[in-house]
Amino acid sequence: MLHIENLTYQYGTLTVLKDLSLRLSAGQVALLFGENGAGKSTLLRCVAGWTQVRTGTIAVQGVSLREQDRAYRQQVALVPDTPDFYDELTAWEHLQLNAQLHRIPAWQDRAAYLLDHFRLTEQKGALPFTFSRGMRYKLALCLALLIRPPLLLLDEPFAALDALARQTLWQALAEHAEQGGTVLFSSHSAPPGAQPDVLLHLRDGQIEPVEASGEVDLTALLSQD
């Protein structure tokens, strides 16, 4: 599904990602963790195509970002830690716009289900700039999940959410993976009961896979450094 080969990314003279390689299969949920400033958000933005990559290759389902840019972008959706919306459109209109642009048939049922799932139904006629940070993140998740991208990238998805929404999101991610999608999310903590298929430790610009078994304790994993 996701295939990254020798990815290097620099901010000026600071090398954030160094010759990084990674493979994820379809149906996997991967948790990316690391210390502040390790480059988690940068990696997600590179994979989403939001940041121009000069060294290395990234491909999803065999479609290369560099060679087939447009086809690649149709495979990926990234929800950043602070998503922004159209000021003039309501939450429901954002879903409508997204669904119609992606030609999703009978999108209304799926959109209503997602809003209900994330407890946003009452706010569907409201403008997102009036939402709290957590509600904005939930709406962004609804928008991304609505189009069911083969690769779903999430930056710090649990940071802004309440305990109930964390469980809901985890279920949604598991559901997405069951349907053949791949999820790569960065986080400093995993919700109780969450068991990602893969744990990826980003350190010194490179990925180190970590054995995942039982309850995930990222504090313990980080302190092993």
Binding interface with other proteins (CB under 8 A): 48-50, 52, 69-71, 73-74, 76-80, 83-90, 93, 96-98, 100-103, 127, 129-130, 140, 143, 147
Query: Cα 89 to chain center, whole Å?
Result: 23
- Cα distance between residue 225 and residue 218, in whole Å: 12
Please report how close the Cβ of residue 1 comes to other proteins at its closest, in angstroms.
18
Q: Is-contact 115 91, C-beta < 8 A?
A: yes
**Between residues 111 and 198, which has the closer beta carbon with respect to other proteins?**
111
**Between residues 152 and 202, which has the closer beta carbon with respect to other proteins?**
152
**Between residues 18 and 66, which has the closer beta carbon with respect to other proteins?**
66
Q: And the tokens for 174?
A: 């598991």
First-to-last alpha carbon distance for the chain, in angstroms, is 29
**Between residues 55 and 100, which has the closer beta carbon with respect to other proteins?**
100
**Between residues 83 and 150, which has the closer beta carbon with respect to other proteins?**
83
- Cα distance between residue 64 and residue 136, in whole Å: 31
Backbone angles phi, psi at 190, to 5 degrees: -105, 145
Backbone angles phi, psi at 193, to 5 degrees: 85, -10
**Between residues 144 and 194, which has the closer beta carbon with respect to other proteins?**
144
- Eight-state DSSP code of residue 207: E
Please report how close the Cβ of residue 20 comes to other proteins at its closest, in angstroms.
21
Please report how close the Cβ of residue 132 comes to other proteins at its closest, in angstroms.
14
Please report how close the Cβ of residue 105 comes to other proteins at its closest, in angstroms.
8
Please report how close the Cβ of residue 140 comes to other proteins at its closest, in angstroms.
6
Q: What is the dihedral of CA 203, 190, 173, 96, to 10 degrees?
A: -90
- Cα distance between residue 133 and residue 23, in whole Å: 32
Detail the DSSP E strand segments found in 114-162. 151-155
Please report how close the Cβ of residue 212 comes to other proteins at its closest, in angstroms.
29
Please report how close the Cβ of residue 106 comes to other proteins at its closest, in angstroms.
11
**Between residues 18 and 73, which has the closer beta carbon with respect to other proteins?**
73
Q: In Å, what is the CA distance from 128 to each residue of 25, 71, 125? A: 34, 29, 9
